[in-house]
Amino acid sequence: MPEQIDIKVLIDEKTLKNKVSKLGEQITQDYKDKKPVLIAILKGSFIFVADICRFIKIPVFFDFMAVSSYGNAKVSSGIVRITKDLDTNIEGKDVIIIEDIIDSGRTLNYLIKNLEARNPKSIEVCALLDKNVPRKAENTVKYKGFDIPNKYVIGYGLDAGEKYRNLPYIGYIEDK
């Protein structure tokens, strides 16, 4: 028997698609004479990067990184580990980090420093969600989808114990 949970919709599918298209259009404008490298941060951003790239109307390159600071927990351990590194040399290239969610800011801060050491021409951040929590590290997000409350969100690539990534909306599990 499937487990019964109460998922509340925070951002519906239509609203997501609308915002993702606007972010893609803005990136197209800002990089119209460039060929940026989109670096998707796995696993959570895989749906976001697949959708946003369809709205970017210039040539782009793709690469992927996987980092871990959560494991299977709902709270960050504070230790960031790269579990899959880039296959592409980004030296002298315009880079856009595609992130699913900014929480404490620690992981993004670590990623930016790590990528800066590889001498790209530029680094910008595109984050679908920005959680309203006190930051452990400040970051500049040039392309931001939504500000969200301090809830553990799932869907559209985000998971709870590797479940619910396939939901077509952003939701949260109601605390009982």
Domain positions in the chain are: 7-173
The half-sphere exposure of 11 on its side-chain side, counting CA atoms within 13 A, is: 21
User: Active site includes 94?
Assistant: no
Residues of the chain with pLDDT under 50: 1
pLDDT of the residue at 1: 43
Catalytic residue among 51, 94, 103, 130: 103
pTM: 0.90
C-alpha closest to that of 58 among 40, 89, 33, 38: 33
Q: For domain 7-173, is the CATH number 3.40.50.300? A: no
Assess contact for 43 and 106: CB atoms under 8 A: no
